[in-house]
A and B are shown apart, each in its own frame.
Chain A
Amino acid sequence: MPPSAPSFRDPAGCCCSFNGRVLRFVAADAVSEFEKFLQTNCARQFIAGKKFVSTRRLNEDETAALRESPDLQPVFHAPPKGAVFFEHERIPFPSYPHEWPPEMLWAAGRLTLELAQAALVDGFGLKDATPRNLLFRGSEPVFIDALSFERRHPGDPIWKPHAQFVRTFLLPLLANRRWGLSLAEIFTTRRDGLEPEDVYRLCGPLEKIKPRTLSLVSIPTWLSRRADPDDQKIYQPHLLANPEKAQFILESLFKRLERTLDSLKPAAQKKSVWSDYMATHSYDDPAFAAKEKFVSEALREFKPARVLDAGANTGHFSALAAQAGAEVVAVDLDAACAGAIWRRAREQKLDILPLVVNLAHPSPALGWRNGECPSFLDRATGAFDGVLMLALIHHLLVTERIPLEEILRLAYEVTNSLLVIEFVEPKDEMFRRLTRGRAALHASLNATVFEQACTPYFEIVRSLALPGTQRRMYCLKRKGGLH
């Protein structure tokens, strides 16, 4: 994975991935408070629960070695004098809000509020509240921006990141629920989410006065129209003499935000074109059992530590891989499917990270100079020991018009070892349905052509025709040294 560009918004420090490590330097004047926060009950408790990234201060030798490293200079632009280096644990596969199903944004919001409340008890406050502060380890959110906490004034009843929490958690979930806007549509073009004014424009007259919209969207919009934008007094702190009262106000705010967040939790039984595929697919039981056995055997034989399930649907085979001991990233273009996988993974405690990614149109690199969030393929290349491409190839060939060689080359670039792929003949019912009168384009495609196309990239370990179908399973081993 390439080194990520360092974070740069927080003047208290900067973080980036470098040679497979996650490093952070903290400015000299922020080090003491940062370390004090790491010693609080809140931080210890969440680190122990694997909900907060574990962090260690590098010793002098390690720091000196880093400072002398010529590779580090272009990444961290000369850390200031007195800055202290810390190292965070690495979260296996970084993912971003524009790739999450809404369920994961909800879970990230829940953890953000839990942490904000717990830190309050220890006298600390969360200084920003964005989903970019979190990554997912499997289906569980982990708070990674350890520098997001600062000592708060005991008399301050205002939580400055409240508006950011609304912009980046509540309004995207509201827009997703009410108008079906996907998180990719929202976060690919807007780093900091949706402004109340953006959502206000989407609301009809009745929508504007519904209690939830009134509080999250309409009243803030009306107030901002009436307020003088040049009046800096608005931003002055309103300190109270009674710290207990300030804490009561903040606790009440967090409880209110929690209730609103829970009211926006995506429904469990969401339907989409693909969400019922497992119940309605065209396999009969023997064919499906044969497919399941074939995949299980391949997983047992190759024992991949990290698996990408491309076109995961409801995650049946992702679960199989996770049960075989792999860390699984399950991608599907359907957010309802990814959401269903997330629920299942959470309930059954399976190590599956579900993401909403269309393999034919994967998430691009985003942020300043396209360096803040690497593209999906940048993160995926060489990151997996096994790739599952089950009942996917016909969608790529027909719907997306991707040439067969390109599909195999991509699989070759992503996996280090195993590819389990399901070849679908043009005579297959679903294949024909997808062609929509363009069957002639694929007339020459058959299993022999497929096997020839595999030859430059993979060795065929074994194959199996699924009984009663026009489909054949292949277990392929990556050939080395081709780039």
Chain B
Amino acid sequence: MVLTASKSLFKIFWLICFLIIMIIAYIDPGLGALLWQTIIAAFVGLLFYLKKTRRWIVGVFRKMFGRSQKPSDIVAEIPAKETRKAKSDVR
């Protein structure tokens, strides 16, 4: 409960910081170029999960065949539940 509240406070803090940044962002962000960047970002976001899932699968196979894992592979391992949830995290 306390943890959830502190997480929410942290998010609110960042949102406020970001809104301040948005106010002082003074350059012209373009229109078409900004939309195109957003579209590409969505695709690259999907690649992120594909890459993570691939790493996780490789990690599982390594475990099955008894090969030692590199530290980076351990970091890359994420529960499948989180992978599913993250697909809808673009607000």
Contacts and interface: CB of A to CB of B under 8 A. Distances in A.
Q: Do A and B come from one complex?
A: yes
B17 to A, nearest CB: 7
A241 B15 CA distance: 12
Interface string B78-91: 00000000100111
Interface in B1-36: 14-15, 17-18, 21-22, 24-36
A151 interface: yes
- Tell me the dominant secondary structure on chain B's binding face: helix
A312 to B, nearest CB: 35
Contacts of B32: 196-197, 219-225, 227
Interface stretch (A6-14, A182-190, A339-347, A364-372): A6-14
Contact of B44 (A130, A150, A225, A252): A252
Interface stretch (A48-56, A161-169, A258-266, A281-289): A161-169
B46 to A, nearest CB: 10
Contacts of B89: 240-242, 245
Interface in A438-477: none
A127 interface: yes
Given A127-B27, A238-B90, A249-B45, A150 B21 contact: yes
Nearest to B49: A245
A442 B17 CA distance: 70
Contacts of B25: 127, 160
Contacts of B35: 220, 223-224, 227, 234
Interface string A343-375: 000000000000000000000000000000000
Given A224-B31, A248-B44, A155 B21 contact: no
B48 interface: yes
Nearest to A197: B32
B26 A158 contact: no
B90 A11 contact: no
Interface residues of A, number: 53
Contacts of A163: 28-30, 33-34, 37
B38 interface: yes
A158 B31 contact: no
A153 interface: yes
A166 B44 contact: no
A154 interface: yes
Contacts of A157: 41, 45
Nearest to A243: B14
Contacts of A82: none
A244 to B, nearest CB: 8
Contact of B41 (A158, A227, A242): A158
Contact of A153 (B21, B40, B47): B21
Given A153-B14, A153-B21, A158-B38, A223 B91 contact: no
B31 to A, nearest CB: 4
A11 B26 CA distance: 8
Contact of A151 (B15, B17, B37, B47): B17
A225 B33 CA distance: 11
B27 A164 contact: yes
A22 interface: no
Contact of B90 (A127, A220, A240): A240
Interface string A229-247: 1000011011111101100
A192 interface: yes
Contact of B18 (A12, A130, A239): A239
Given A219-B36, A239-B15, A192 B48 contact: no
A161 B48 contact: no
A154 B34 CA distance: 19
Nearest to A29: B20
A274 interface: no
A297 B44 CA distance: 61
A422 interface: no
Contacts of A223: 31-32, 35-36
Please give me the 5 A-B residue pairs with the lowest Cβ-Cβ distance, nearest first: A163-B30, A224-B32, A220-B32, A163-B33, A223-B32
Given A163-B34, A220-B35, 12 more contacts: A153-B14, A158-B34, A161-B27, A196-B32, A196-B33, A234-B35, A235-B29, A238-B38, A238-B41, A248-B44, A249-B41, A249-B45
11 contacts: A128-B26, A155-B14, A157-B41, A160-B27, A237-B18, A239-B18, A240-B90, A249-B41, A252-B47, A253-B37, A253-B40
